[in-house]
Structure 1
């Protein structure tokens, strides 16, 4: 006759023992050398209430210690992190992921049904070769990617989530530790804010999650990329490509939308320009990649290219291409163009009203008009010429006077 199990060992065969936790990059931290404290059957799972092996560690400098909250079986059923309970693939709450993929939760919530469901789930998980099923509540099930998830997905770890809690003594004005206090000295969240009231079970089951509701409201107000009116534009601007992005990686993704004419990478600006042969292919690529293209763990920025005739010219604006700036008072005037200098500097060629000259007009130098000497000057008459008399025409200068500079007057010799 077999011995019956005592109360201390009842159900111990279903307790979970593991060697390493299932964590997301944010909870694990940026330190590659993490020292973890492992405790076998150290706590009960917050979902299935079974003892499991707990882990405790510090994710980085001036961060709070974190620990696993649920067992690995519950984490594998939802494909979530054992600590933050966010999806391992997208970094989003379960409620957002289930709504985007139209997943119906079939996990039992009552105590008796929950224990039976967990036992059957463990048998299925142990029978699979992969070990970690998809996020559908059943092993080995996968779903196609969703546009909403690609737009809201977090590509880089968010380490601010690991910051210490707010110091309650500092809020009361009684903290005497100063800079040595391991807690944050910041203003606490408004108690009326829905984000201040979060429940771990609501997050796991995907019901009444305030973080998920906030993300869904943000998704409803996401910007859209409208196609330009100029139908000749078939170029897309791709930003935030990084320094190690290759043309082959961009071509392997963008070729699915249509025939590509050229791909130009500007490494210094960390951007690229993808030009398609047809406008329809460019519109499909813009719609399929805007706010959801991730290559090398980088979310790429997608914009429409600009027309060659409407590009910005240095010294001009978009609305007035080619317009000149107003002169700054106190600065010397810029030198005119040789053609303008030839026609307009001495105001020889009058400007029309259709093409006004942008430079100030200068009057020609005015010299005194000298009158020619009389034909028979008297000895007492001064040789300095005077001004033109009435009825005389022509321009005469002192150098034109025949009585000066050694000129010989024939009338006197005769």
Structure 2
């Protein structure tokens, strides 16, 4: 503890005693029969340095034991998980969330100001109820952000709960073999920024390497450009599978304008939505690109291409692949089409036998005057 028990500012009445931790779905694991240990006042919070209730559990088979590292008050103030310190709603770092939303919730870092601020937040959270987070108390907007939705994962990432790398294995001295609870793998590059992460930087949203990596990914996200042909009013919907019906697509896209036709192509895992006006199609494309999720399935929204244009791209022949490869040297030229061969004069006519000679016969077996090695041959 950074403070002694006899110090006056150390308020023992504010010690935390909880019944269940505040965790994200990834840290909780996929094991429905989870066993969790609880230790009251087992450790001090890594942010406010106050004693709190420590929980410890194993998320699943082959995973490492996880524990809470911050108290519930600090987790509620930032709306983060007590273990991974990622946002509970999007599963993203605090620095990335604050930069996208354009809002920042600064928590005091000095001893006296931090203690005073934490006590005030505890009282405000107790009056507001368990459904209100600390971000809503300081004026954060509760509206959903489309950019954060595009960056978050649709499913829990349980590989994050994998055991650490065995240091004895790296030295070649691990004698446990398959019974070793740690991973027998090579570590990542020590110069990688992701290999050095700090708990306080992750919580306060400063110099977080994971957030910096995701922000670089955000700048490289693709953008949907409207086609120059104003006659195109059809959208291509990719990733359509059996649970998604035509009614689901109509219910989503009808809010942007009047729909002329919806065509489902389950064999190709796609669908086509045609609008009556170009303006409605542009609004639907802008508001649905990389944002459309139906029945838990993320769909790919693109502008549809005219069939005439697709045939032209295919290399001038219907059914072409559209890819032009470099010719291989030494190969014979392309054969004519079958219909052109049928139109040639003399097709299917009887072959004319040559009179022999050095110009028409290349091998002795091609000489029609030879009788071979049969009973009529001259060799017998």
Q: Same fold (TM over 0.5)?
A: yes
The answer as to whether partners of 2:243 and 2:295 remain within 8 angstroms in 1 is no
CA change 1:139–1:244 in 2 (3 A) is farther
Superposed displacement of residue 20, structure 1? 1.3
Q: SS of the counterpart of 2:301? A: strand
The residue that corresponds to 1:179 in the other structure is 178
CA distance in 1, matches of 2:200, 2:186: 27
The residue that corresponds to 1:61 in the other structure is 61
CA distance in 1, matches of 2:247, 2:272: 13
- 1:253 paired to 2:248: no
Could you list the runs of 5+ residues in structure 2 that have no partner in the other structure? 322-330, 353-380
Per the normalisation by structure 2, the TM-score is: 0.79
Superposed displacement of residue 204, structure 1? 0.6
CA distance in 2, matches of 1:104, 1:335: 71
More deviation in 90-99 or 27-36? 27-36
CA distance in 2, matches of 1:142, 1:22: 21
Superposed displacement of residue 8, structure 1? 10
Q: SS of the counterpart of 1:40? A: strand
Per the normalisation by structure 1, the TM-score is: 0.73
The answer as to whether partners of 1:156 and 1:297 remain within 8 angstroms in 2 is no
Q: SS of the counterpart of 2:122? A: helix
- 1:29 paired to 2:29: yes
CA distance in 2, matches of 1:44, 1:52: 6
Superposed displacement of residue 364, structure 1? 5.5
Q: SS of the counterpart of 2:184? A: coil
304, 316, 320: which one pairs with 1:320?
A: 316
CA distance in 1, matches of 2:245, 2:50: 49
The answer as to whether partners of 2:39 and 2:54 remain within 8 angstroms in 1 is yes
Deviations 1:306-347 (A, max 9, x none): 2132446xxx9712233789xx99xxx99759xx95xx26x2
Deviations 1:235-277 (A, max 9, x none): 2222334432344443333233222222333445443322222
The residue that corresponds to 1:170 in the other structure is 169
Could you list the runs of 5+ residues in structure 1 that have no partner in the other structure? 1-5, 348-360, 368-414
- 1:362 paired to 2:347: yes
Q: How does 1:95-244 map to 2 (within 5 A)?
A: 95-133=95-133, 135=135, 138=137, 141-244=140-243
- 1:52 paired to 2:52: yes
The residue that corresponds to 1:87 in the other structure is 87
Deviations 1:174-227 (A, max 9, x none): 112222221112221222211111001101100000010011111111122223
The residue that corresponds to 2:16 in the other structure is 16
Larger radius of gyration, structure 1 or 2?
A: 1
CA distance in 2, matches of 1:297, 1:110: 44
Superposed displacement of residue 165, structure 1? 0.3
CA distance in 2, matches of 1:261, 1:141: 41
CA change 1:93–1:323 in 2 (3 A) is closer
Q: Greater helix share, 1 or 2?
A: 2
